[in-house]
Structure 1
Amino acid sequence: MAFTAAESKLVSIFVQSILYGIYVTLFFTTTDALLRRREGCGTLRHDMVFVSLLMFVVATMHVATNFSRIILAFVVHADAPGGPAAFFNELSNFTQMFGSTLYVIQTLLGDGMVLYRCYLVWERKVAVVVIPCLLLLGSTATGIGILYSFDKVVPQASIFVVQLNRWITAFFSMTLVTNFICTALVAYRVWSMNRSTLSFRQHKLRPIMVLIVESGAFYSATLLALLILYNVDSWFQYVVLDAVSAIVGIVFSLIMRRIATGISTVEGETALVEPSAIASGIQLSRTSFRGGTKGGTEPESPGEGA
């Protein structure tokens, strides 16, 4: 049985709340790890702290907006003509516009972080990120186009109408391609820099999980699911759409936590460790492959990669 708009919104607020709860935990533990890094004579990454805080604020505002829309739809407008479904189709409604603006901002923040991560991992080579930069500009333009179209579309129009479909499909597509390119580049770079530790035969699935976390591949997979659901006119796309704001924060909190705790560096060096090693705060050693030359294995200094 196909989901209706009202049913999808109820499921989406449930899923988003669970993911947001996970994100809140990760956000505070990551922030604590970043601050402890400074106490341990490391360098505090002010840019990482700022972006992490900004993502958290946007995600919090987004889930709060969705809760308010649920209350408005199922309580305030429950007996109005068309019921909750009609309320959700009021695309020019302030809460719809505000929530969509937050979604666009969080998505662009996520794309920007993926791009910046790729730039750092590839030793700040501008040529590597030229195409993703252009795609990010395109995503910004189409995101603005979506918000403008929401205000101009006919009343009670579906989210799938042609006037919106072109803008939304373009936005999702550019975001997906940006993430796919950057994810592939980061995954390849991380693997090539850490071949000795990322041994698939020896560690089985663990290297795959490391690459997924380091490259932000889960975020790209979410965007692919969102694009497919929207283009088959499934109301279930609301569930994935509302989950994105928390997923963006979760993915990048995991990456920043690995960097803050010394498991990874900003440039992409990483290590496979047991959970007990992380809990006890053991400082890791890794083999450097920068410049294609294998160096000696030595402990990373507290300030390295900052």
Structure 2
Amino acid sequence: MGKITLRNVTKKFGDVAVIPALNLDIENGEFVVFVGPSGCGKSTLLRLIAGLEDTTDGSILIDGADATDTPPAKRGLAMVFQSYALYPHMSVRKNISFPLKMAGVDPAEATRKVDNAAKVLNLTSYLDRKPGQLSGGQRQRVAIGRAIVREPKAFLFDEPLSNLDAALRVNMRLEITELHQTLKTTMIYVTHDQVEAMTMADKIVVLNAGRIEQVGSPLTLYRNPANVFVAGFIGSPKMNLITGPEAEKRGATTIGIRPEHIDLSTTAGEWQGEVGVSEHLGSDTFLHVHVPGMPTLTVRAGGEYGVHHGDRIFLTPQADKMHRFGADGKAM
């Protein structure tokens, strides 16, 4: 089991509350992603769950038992950090088996667990190598293997892919998601990359200044953002947010429209603008269009869309995909 419950969990450094009173339920077997900008408190919250930081107030329950004051080693959780933290002089096998050795596990049982973890992570042929002989992605898999053999109630990942290049990040993202499908164990994953959040999570927790802005499935947050912050954070490229007369005539303080929900024309449309920078990505082209009286709008077009810098273009937002937000920033 791996249900984790946070009740009025608070963390203060001096007089500064980096995590104001916060409540959250993480169900057994869920893949939950904490996402938000730098400094939003997501890593601090993960460390509170792990027991690496003391809570100032509130309680943390693991499978219904109060673990607020339980030492990290006794919480039954395994953490994978941004740095691999491998022992360079040890083989992959010895690195993975190290926590079992420290726990006094029978050597034959330890060998079985290491072999099983290596099989799951495609590391079997690398067990006799040293970390220096591995790629960054392979080293991160070794760090994950070291967590797997402990058979924890939940895995805690603190930005584990930050040190990898773009291609390896994509591969490891898929591997961790596949791992979750295989193990069916609760996973909590911290990232500032909302693309990782959208592609990996069963449930996303959007944090801002230590507060939860919204909790929901990736598509729920994409389709129905609760407020301007979530609207501007979830989605890549991010939602266009417009204030002023355009919003007011629609009875809102702010309106939002995603780049993929704006129709393009070279002859007629609701808004007229001038093409600025075009980002050609092969399958898609993202146009940055200057419309008088509005911020620069990002519009998604097909990869072969033929316009150039300085061209006149017309934009029409899809009315049923428009988001409206009030003066308090909340969805209307």
TM-score by length of 2: 0.20
Question: Which structure has the greater CA radius of gyration?
Answer: 2
TM-score by length of 1: 0.22
More helix by share: 1
